[in-house]
């Protein structure tokens, strides 16, 4: 048995093939070496092959609209990727980079046709793996839109704005009220005695309270502006979450429908090749009419 055939025997996708079928397929596929740091393909590249990892690791990722890199999965020995573009003849939907050197099996469209001729049930394995990958990818992409509003606002805050938030929160607490009641009671009590430094009508107290009210109102206005900014960020994040969820659901429907049509066409072609020209399935006999009653 050749080295390529032995490599195919270690891959779950080809586990159901016998030695002769595996040897036949090994003559068609290519066994290549992947090097750490190598770029296999980028998003939007033409997709006319899929890859099965024999050894090593490949990282699959995409970039969001904001330029952030999102890791979808890591393909390890026995895993395969790139089958979506191979099935629907479309561009790549993600990027693939080698993170650990090793060997891989490259399967093109003709090789896939040969595999389905030898083992039609492999199409179900492809569909199951593709559906699982689409679900995982949709979950990952949907979660990337979920950002923390407080973290977004905190990243843009200054020392003055943070102090304004603290003062606004403290001024609305019971502790603030109790401290002021105690302070006013002590001030009025002390200045009602012979040792008063601010006798009635308490002009110094009036000026102090006025200055405090001006500073408090200004800081509370700062805090209110930050709350408005926080609400704006929250609205933007909710919009992004809804938009990405809608786009991903639409994308999943399109991909699943396309893959389903592609597999049905391939299975139909295999079924036609298995039967002679002009063959048609036997008709079921008509049931006799119901003459009861």
Rounded to 5 degrees, φ, ψ at 105 are -110, 125
Please tell me the total count of domains within the chain.
Answer: 2
Q: Do 162 and 265 fall into the same domain? A: yes
Question: Do both 111 and 156 map to the same domain?
Answer: no
- Is 75 contained in some domain? yes
168 plus 250 within the same structural domain: yes
Q: Which domain does 178 fall in, by range?
A: 149-274
**Do 169 and 53 belong to one domain?**
no
Residues 98 and 214 in one domain: no
User: pLDDT of the chain along its 293 residues, tens only?
Assistant: 466 677 777 766 666 667 777 777 777 788 889 999 899 988 888 878 888 888 899 998 887 665 567 777 888 887 888 877 766 777 887 889 999 999 888 888 787 777 777 777 666 766 776 677 677 666 665 555 555 555 655 556 667 777 777 888 888 888 888 998 999 889 888 888 878 888 888 888 889 889 888 888 888 777 777 777 777 777 777 777 777 777 767 777 777 777 778 788 877 777 676 655 555 656 655 555 554 54
Is the domain of 164 the same as that of 107? Answer: no
Pair 162, 229 in one domain: yes
Residue 281 in any domain: the answer is no
Q: Is residue 284 part of a domain?
A: no
- Read off φ and ψ for residue 23, nearest 5 degrees: -65, -40
Q: Domain for residue 98, yes or no?
A: yes
Do 166 and 270 reside in the same domain of the chain? yes
Reported as type and span, the H/E element at residue 108 is: strand 102-108
C-alpha closest to that of 82 among 116, 110, 43: 43
**Exposed e or buried b per residue across 177-211, where buried means at least 16 C-beta atoms within 10 angstroms of its C-beta:** eeeeeeeeeebeeebeeeeeebeeebeeeeeeeee
In this structure, the answer to whether residues 109 and 162 fall within a common structural domain is no
Q: Are residues 112 and 163 in the same domain?
A: no
Phi and psi based region of residue 78 (left: phi greater than 0; alpha: psi -120 to 50; beta: remaining): left
Within a domain: 128: no
Within-domain flag for 291: no
In a domain, 257, yes or no: yes
257 class by beta-carbon count within 10 Å (0-12 exposed, 13-18 middle, 19+ buried): exposed
- The pLDDT of residue 98 is 92
> Which CATH number do you get for residue 11?
2.60.120.10
Maximum distance among all Cα pairs of the chain, rounded to whole angstroms: 122
Same domain flag for 153 and 270? yes
238 inside domain: yes
Q: Are residues 175 and 114 in the same domain?
A: no
**59, 31, 117, 77: CA torsion to nearest 10:** -40
């Amino acid at each position: 048995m050749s080295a390529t055939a032995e490599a195919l025997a270690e891959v779950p996708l080809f586990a159901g093939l016998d030695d002769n079928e595996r040897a036949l397929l090994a003559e068609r596929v290519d066994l290549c070496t992947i090097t750490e740091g190598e770029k296999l393909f980028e998003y939007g590249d033409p997709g006319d092959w899929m890859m099965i990892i024999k050894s090593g690791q490949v990282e699959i990722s995409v970039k969001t609209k904001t330029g952030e890199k999102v890791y979808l999965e890591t393909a390890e020995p026995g895993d395969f990727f790139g089958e979506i573009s191979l099935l629907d003849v479309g561009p790549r939907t993600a990027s693939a980079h080698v993170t650990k050197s090793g060997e891989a099996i490259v399967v093109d469209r003709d090789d896939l046709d040969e595999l389905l001729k030898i083992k039609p049930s492999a199409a179900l394995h492809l569909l199951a793996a593709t559906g699982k990958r689409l679900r995982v990818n949709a979950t990952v992409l949907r979660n990337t839109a979920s950002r923390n509003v407080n973290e977004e606002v905190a990243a843009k805050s200054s020392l003055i704005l943070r102090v304004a938030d603290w003062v606004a929160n403290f001024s609305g607490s019971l502790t603030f009220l109790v401290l002021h009641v105690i302070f006013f009671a002590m001030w009025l009590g002390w200045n009602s005695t012979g040792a008063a430094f601010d006798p009635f009508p308490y002009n110094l107290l009036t000026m102090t309270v006025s200055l405090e009210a001006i500073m408090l109102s200004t800081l509370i206005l700062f805090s209110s502006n930050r709350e408005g900014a926080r609400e704006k960020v929250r609205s933007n994040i909710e919009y992004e979450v809804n938009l990405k969820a809608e786009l991903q659901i639409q994308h999943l429907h399109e991909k699943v429908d396309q893959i389903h049509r592609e597999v049905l066409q391939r299975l139909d072609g295999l079924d036609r090749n298995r039967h002679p020209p002009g063959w048609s399935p036997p008709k079921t006999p008509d049931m006799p009419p119901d003459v009861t009653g």
